[in-house]
């Protein structure tokens, strides 16, 4: 089994087949059912954990597989085949976002108590950074963590938190020194079964409906000092490092989603007859597919290059930001054109393209907006 891309070995492609088979067998058949219910079973996490999909790059001593970054690329690409962007987001938060800081700076005790069960899918994780008044501007967060003896007392509100309503713990950023700016931000692992934690509300969204997104409230919430991740004041830098993986995996999944929808639309265009012939036979339609295929391939190559840099441990904030910007913007444009090619049927919920269109709109916002990516890229260029 070989790949046309030099980044993937035969072992990567074998892994791809195993993920694809699982997705098509156990997830995709339930897409409509879970979309209508606006949730998917908690058991999905446990099943993913059993198969080793939630700890691809984490150390074997905590239940992970210790594999390279391109296995995570494969997983993100193939998971998209379930047809539910919300499920993809919830799972990738678990595998690549909320557990990342635990791996990066967590103590051995924290890793065994929280990371290992998350890798097994026995605990669900959420990442608590965004606040009502502080999104991409992490340094402006208002949630505080005040030390009181052997505990920290946390007060504040987080919003747009994926997995928020059913998380067993939140990887939480808070200001342990509110006068120190970004240097006063620390990270904690915050179990949700302690007094002072509550789900303010489950948020209703345009798309990604099977992913539970919540407002979280911490009201005199107390956790042991041992639940701090790393050193006090290390949280901002950890969040910035973690953002790179979050943004790149979003870019990769977006490209895979665009490819999937273009393939489905091409099949539709080859069957849909208007004016006596399939619409795929009209020159204007052929040219649209040529443009979409070229744009998707350009986006994929950019994402793969950024993944290569991450895998080699090379600093790549600019390249990841470019990938997030270009891939997510391209994906939405492509899916929007796919909906147009479906005509009136594309606007009907019975067609997958309508859900893909709703879901894709989030990609240019979540994990850092396109505008923020442009600002990062511009500053790194010296502008």
User: Is a pLDDT exceeding 80 seen at residue 238?
Assistant: yes
Query: Which residue segments constitute the domains of the chain, with CATH numbers given?
Result: 10-120 (1.10.540.10), 125-233 (2.40.110.10), 237-380 (1.20.140.10)
Residue 1 has a pLDDT of 65
301 Cβ contact list (under 8 Å, min separation 6): none
Main-chain dihedrals φ then ψ at residue 365, nearest 5 degrees: -115, -55
What span, in angstroms and rounded, lies between the C-alpha atoms of 118 and 212? 17
* Residue 266 pLDDT greater than 80, yes or no: yes
32 class by beta-carbon count within 10 Å (0-12 exposed, 13-18 middle, 19+ buried): middle
Q: What are 296-311's pLDDT values in tens digits?
A: 999 999 999 999 999 9
Cα 289 versus chain centre, distance: 27
Q: Are the C-beta atoms of residues 90 and 42 closer than 8 Å to each other?
A: no
Q: What is the pLDDT of residues 192-232, one digit of tens each?
A: 999 999 999 999 999 999 999 999 999 999 999 999 999 99
What percent of the chain is predicted at pLDDT more than 70? 100
- What confidence score (pLDDT) does residue 181 get? 84
For residue range 14-47, list pLDDT tens digits in order: 999 999 999 999 999 999 999 999 999 999 999 9
Q: Pick the more confident residue, 245 or 228.
A: 228
Lowest-confidence region among 82-96, 135-149, 353-367: 135-149
- The model's pLDDT over 78-99, given as tens digits with 9 standing for 90+, comes to 999 999 999 999 999 999 999 9
Per-residue pLDDT at 134 exceeds 80: no
Residue 182 is predicted with a pLDDT of 85
Chain mean position to CA 100: 12
> Which pLDDT score is estimated for 280?
95
> CA–CA separation, 374 vs 322, rounded Å?
8
pLDDT surpasses 80 at 125 = yes
How far is Cα 90 from Cα 25, in angstroms, rounded to an integer? Answer: 19
Task: Name the more confident of 284 and 239.
Answer: 284
246 is catalytic: yes
pLDDT at 178: 86
pLDDT-derived band of residue 363, with 50, 70 and 90 as boundaries?
A: very high
Q: Supply the mean pLDDT for the chain.
A: 95
∠ at Cα 45 (310, 122), nearest 5°? 100
In Å, the largest CA–CA distance within the chain is 79
Which of 246, 297, 329, 350 does the annotation list as catalytic? 246
DSSP type of residue 213: E
pLDDT, position 179? 85
Average pLDDT over residues 264-276: 95
């Amino acid at each position: 089994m070989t790949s046309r891309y030099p980044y993937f070995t035969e072992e990567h492609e074998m892994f791809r087949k195993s993920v694809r088979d699982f997705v098509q067998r156990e997830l995709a058949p339930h897409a409509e059912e879970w979309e209508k219910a606006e949730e998917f079973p908690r058991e999905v996490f446990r099943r993913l954990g059993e198969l080793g999909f939630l700890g691809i790059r984490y150390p074997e001593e905590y239940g992970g597989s210790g594999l390279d970054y391109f296995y995570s690329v494969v997983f993100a690409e193939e998971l998209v085949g379930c047809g539910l962007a919300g499920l993809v987001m919830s799972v990738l938060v678990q595998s690549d976002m909320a557990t990342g800081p635990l791996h990066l700076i967590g103590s051995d005790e924290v890793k065994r108590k929280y990371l290992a069960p998350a890798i097994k899918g026995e605990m669900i994780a959420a990442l608590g950074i965004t606040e009502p008044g502080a999104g991409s501007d992490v340094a402006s967060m208002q949630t505080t963590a005040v030390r009181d003896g052997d505990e920290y007392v946390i007060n504040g509100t987080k919003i747009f938190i994926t997995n928020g309503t059913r998380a067993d713990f939140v990887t939480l950023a808070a200001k342990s020194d509110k006068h120190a700016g970004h240097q006063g931000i620390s990270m904690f692992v915050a179990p949700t079964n302690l007094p002072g934690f509550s789900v303010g509300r489950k948020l209703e969204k345009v798309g990604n409906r099977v992913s539970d997104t919540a407002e979280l409230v911490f009201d005199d919430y107390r956790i042991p000092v041992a639940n701090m991740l790393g050193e006090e004041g290390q949280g901002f830098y950890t969040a910035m490092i973690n953002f790179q993986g979050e943004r790149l995996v979003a870019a990769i999944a977006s490209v895979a989603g665009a490819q999937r929808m273009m393939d489905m639309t091409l099949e539709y265009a080859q069957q849909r007859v208007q004016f006596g012939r399939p619409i795929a036979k009209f020159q204007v339609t052929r040219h649209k597919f040529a443009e979409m295929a070229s744009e998707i391939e350009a986006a994929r190559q950019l994402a793969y290059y950024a993944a290569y840099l991450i895998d080699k441990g090379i600093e790549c904030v600019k390249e990841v930001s470019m990938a997030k910007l270009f891939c997510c913007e391209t994906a939405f444009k492509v899916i929007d054109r796919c909906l147009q090619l479906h005509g009136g049927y594309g606007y009907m919920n019975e067609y997958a393209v309508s859900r893909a269109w709703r879901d894709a709109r989030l990609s240019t916002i979540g994990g850092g907006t396109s505008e923020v990516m442009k600002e990062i890229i511009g500053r790194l260029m010296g502008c």
